[in-house]
Amino acid sequence: MPVLDQEPSKGLGGRDGLPKLPLPALKDTLDMYLRGMKHLLTEEQFNKTQHVVQQFGAPGGVGELLQSKLKERRDNKANWVYDYWLNEMYLNNRQALPVNSSPVMVFPQQHFKAPMDSLRFAAHLISGALEYKTLLDSRALPVDCARGQLAGTPLCMEQYYRLFTSYRLPGPERDTLVAQESSVMPEPEHIIVACKNQFFVLDVVINFRRLNERDLLTQLEKIARMADSEEEQLPSIGLLTSDGRTEWAESRSVLMRESTNRDSLDMIERCLCLVCLDDTSGLGLNDTTRAMLMLHGGGVAKNGGNRWYDKPMQFVVGADGCCGVVCEHSPFEGIVLVQCTEYLLKYMIGSPSKLVRAASVSELPAPRRLRWKCTPEIHKLLASSADKLQRCVKNLDMNVHKFYHYGKEFIKKQKMSPDAYIQVALQLAYYRFHGRPVSTYESASIRRFQEGRVDNIRSATPEALAFVKAMTDGKLSTNDTEKMEMLQSAITAQTKYTILAITGMAIDNHLLGLREIAHELKLEKPEIFKDEAHLISNQFILSTSQVPTTVEMFCSYGPVVPNGYGVCYNPQSDHIIFSVSSFQESSQTCSAEFVKSLVQGLLDMRDLCNRCNYGSNTAQQRQGQTLETHTQTDTNWQNKTPQRPTDLTKNQQTLPQILLKTPDQTKVEAQTQTSSQEEAQALKNVKKS
């Protein structure tokens, strides 16, 4: 298989027609870096960093040399940062994939009445996936266009073509992203079905005919029966893929000594995708537990071994209705995964299952169980991988929260970007709970460019810090109008950064490029990359991402540092789904408390907007006279047009906004409408036991 990490394939709607990723000016990046770090460092640290950065950027200095080399690289490559970025974000990362790297999509809870129902669901899903693959193969997928900020531009489609064709091969120091070769006479395609930790080859083309849904069900039934046969049970080899990447690379080379194992690995590495038929987890299922089960399979005693983490697409169909997709992240972003998944779910809704009657009785050859020859050495490696997975399961602190008080429509009515507003709310949540700002990552798509993946919006802006301090200082030293101006300023700063990032002018990719090209030139690592500030700037204690969906489902992922949070959010018109993760082993973090702080912040921000938009009597606002309760403000904001502070003197209009309430909402409100002050105090007092 050809290596994909060096030169991605040329694809329709990919490079063709799209501009190259620009290279920002050195001075702009260095200025932005200093500005973005100042408030995250001590004065002493900052003074040192400022000196180091000035030296780096000095005329005739090393920065200029590296920048000129990057310019050459830009001229010679479709995307100057792609390889560097892929290695840095994924392939060099030695951490285990579950929780640490692989995001998941969690489907709505399914209600299977009998085991057969889950097999029917799986057959229907596979059928949709095969149809989607046909669209990909014929390059018939319409080109995506950007939405939201700077809407309308076409986006690079290359990530789609890796959904079913790529594989992340573990390496002792660096993994390799490999792609299946497309040939004139394509090989017969197959899916790997995992069931009771056993792996089965499900050929989807037999006698030159693609299996229909009924055939697929027949084959899945056979697999379920074969998996039940206790005499034939083989060890849970999939556990090895849940280990650290270097450990898995070593185990894989041990496995490869046996030809039986080589054949089995080859079948898995060349499959289209996995379908994991999970056993009932035995857990009470809610959004949080389903996200956890999707992220790690529930550990060795549950479905932790029923996975193969190297494969980008693993569809999970749990007997208890816990379903979703586990995705190896290196070939594509969550947005592409969502597009594919939404297609499948819409396919399943829109094209009702054709399995009205029993499964097919046609004489299809039975699916093949993959065999493993396990030496005592492999058993030892399996035990070690199992231990580590157990630790990972125990360590995950997950909290999925559906915030029903308002969604992006309310925010848009404030004439604010919903994404920027949510990011500011996350800054407020972290600051209120932890009392300090931290380096924050928000993924920004750069698919407007050839082979574009993402850059980082550094959401911990100085403007956001000023706002969150004013909101949490506990005194009435800042009145509402001033707070509102600070909120506006934080939103403006965040929105500006977003626009810079999506137009390829953010700083993280650029700094990475400068560091890597110095390495390539075998220069001594420049001081700017050895400086403590560089380390702090890349410790993303808040790792955040917007993954919106138009079908009921949500995305979850884990934190990227031991004392951090992974926060994925899905803004809907009248509610927002937050998936918050952290590690139990960190005494500094707690997902449930973070969520509490977030909810309080979102309510406080809403109330602030409502109060500031309430009256035209700005003098009254300046004296800090505020409306006290959420109930009052609810009434007010439903009856008044929200206006920015600068608009306060203008005439007010009636706001034609209706809050759509779901049955759950009353309960959520009851849980979250505690007094702001009480809650702020409680949060300050929180110490993780």
Positions touching ligand COA (CB under 6 A) are 147-149, 333-335, 412, 415-419, 443-445, 454, 498, 502, 545-547
Tell me, what amino acid is at 537? S
d(CA 383, CA 391): 13
Comparing CB distances to ligand COA, the nearer of 270 and 412 is 412
Contacts of 317 (CB under 8 A, 6+ apart): 118, 121, 122, 125, 275, 276, 277, 278, 323
Tell me, what amino acid is at 297? G
Comparing CB distances to ligand COA, the nearer of 388 and 644 is 644
Tell me, what amino acid is at 329? H
Alpha helices in 521-583 (DSSP H): 532-537
Q: Smallest distance, Å, CB 149 to ligand COA? A: 4
Q: Smallest distance, Å, CB 197 to ligand COA? A: 29
The neighbour count for residue 81, using CB atoms within 10 Å, is 27
Using left for φ > 0, alpha for ψ between -120 and 50, and beta otherwise, residue 321 falls in: left
Comparing CB distances to ligand COA, the nearer of 306 and 545 is 545
Comparing CB distances to ligand COA, the nearer of 218 and 440 is 440
Task: Give me 561's structure tokens.
Answer: 């540092």
Q: Smallest distance, Å, CB 573 to ligand COA? A: 8
Task: Give me 323's structure tokens.
Answer: 């379903």
d(CA 511, CA 30): 9
Q: How far is CA 222 from CA 213, 276, 355, 366, in A?
A: 14, 15, 16, 7
The neighbour count for residue 372, using CB atoms within 10 Å, is 18
Active site residues: 329
Q: Smallest distance, Å, CB 418 to ligand COA? A: 4
Contacts of 120 (CB under 8 A, 6+ apart): 217, 353, 355
Tell me how far apart the 2 most distant CA atoms of the chain are, in Å.
83
Q: Smallest distance, Å, CB 420 to ligand COA? A: 6
Tell me, what amino acid is at 226? M
Radius of gyration for the alpha carbons in the chain, expressed in angstroms and rounded: 26
Comparing CB distances to ligand COA, the nearer of 148 and 186 is 148
Comparing CB distances to ligand COA, the nearer of 416 and 428 is 416
d(CA 519, CA 364): 56
Structural contact between residues 303 and 278, judged by C-beta atoms closer than 8 angstroms: yes
Comparing CB distances to ligand COA, the nearer of 151 and 184 is 151
Strands 274-278 and 542-546: what pairing?
A: unpaired
Comparing CB distances to ligand COA, the nearer of 306 and 498 is 498
Residues in the chain: 689
Q: Quick one: CA dihedral 303, 306, 308, 314, positive or negative?
A: negative
Q: Smallest distance, Å, CB 173 to ligand COA? A: 25
Q: Smallest distance, Å, CB 146 to ligand COA? A: 7
Q: Smallest distance, Å, CB 555 to ligand COA? A: 8
